[in-house]
Amino acid sequence: MERIKVEDVSYSYISKYQKIDALRQVSCSFDEGKLYAVIGESGSGKSTLLSLLAGLDLPSEGTIYIDGEDLASMDRDAYRRDKASVVYQSFHLFPLLTALENVMYPLELKGVPGREARRRAMDCIAQAGLPEKILRQYPKMMSGGEQQRVAIARALAAEGDILLADEPTGNLDTENEEIIAGLLLECAHEKGYTVVLVTHSLELARKADVIYRMKDGRMMRYDR
Ligand SMILES: Nc1ncnc2c1ncn2[C@@H]1O[C@H](COP(=O)(O)OP(=O)(O)O)[C@@H](O)[C@H]1O
Ligand SMILES: [Mg+2]
């Protein structure tokens, strides 16, 4: 059984003046232990697909199954807290919290006691390849690459095994791009996570196990 199965999913943004069909009958699936890249031009529907996978919104039509269960009938707050983590291009760290506090945050949400949360957070920060001195730093004191690694450490701390990344290296240089891609690959291959990487970089996408390409809201075949 696939971890995530997307079946004939359409999604439209509807405003008073227009209706934009962002996804048109998209079908695809995502298995555990693999890194998936989703590529496509700007506006092709990548972020919309990712936000549906994250349970932030529901398809207008079609169904998304998580471990065989319809996401629309699941407790989506619990899904986002326990299973799915999202990493964004602009990191989305809490500016008034240190690196350590940022990473402890999802653990506190789950009610993990302070000392244990601290221990696990430090573990995740180390896994993300960050030095200990980062623990007490605030986001604005860090480089972009460090901030993104803290964001990934926070996603690891959440312990969801579905990791969704939307252009996570969009603001980073090649060296940091490599580091982030390496971390995502590790999550898939060593931890067995289901990892989805949205990127417009074909070079980055080539590191993935599977490449999906979107065009005008449709999922196309991508031949390497
Ligand atoms: N909040 C929104 N309201 C209206 N239209 C949107 C919104 N977000 C995205 N769109 C439109 O939906 C389409 C797909 O967008 P998006 O999923 O962000 O694409 P991508 O991430 O591939 O650039 C685009 O035409 C975009 O303009
Ligand atoms: Mg996007």
Ligand 1 contact via 5 beta carbon (within 6 Å): no
Give the three-class secondary structure for 26: strand
List pLDDT tens digits, range 5-54: 999 999 999 999 999 999 999 999 999 999 999 999 999 999 999 999 99
- Helices marked H in 60-143: 76-82, 99-109, 114-127
Q: In the block, which residue shows the tokens 């959440």? A: 158
What is the pLDDT averaged over residues 179-208?
Answer: 94
Ligand 1 contact via 169 beta carbon (within 6 Å): no
How many other CB atoms sit within 10 Å of the CB of residue 158? 23
Ordered by where they begin, the domains of the chain are 31-58+74-220 (3.40.50.300)
Q: Whose CA is nearest to atom 3 of ligand 1?
A: 13
Burial class (CB in 10 A: 0-12, 13-18, 19+), 39: buried
Q: Whose CA is nearest to atom 14 of ligand 1?
A: 45
Ligand 1 contact via 42 beta carbon (within 6 Å): yes
11 in Cβ contact with 23 (< 8 Å): yes
- What ligand 1 atom has the least distance to the C-alpha of 217? 14
Answer yes or no: is pLDDT of 123 > 90: yes
- What ligand 1 atom has the least distance to the C-alpha of 44? 22
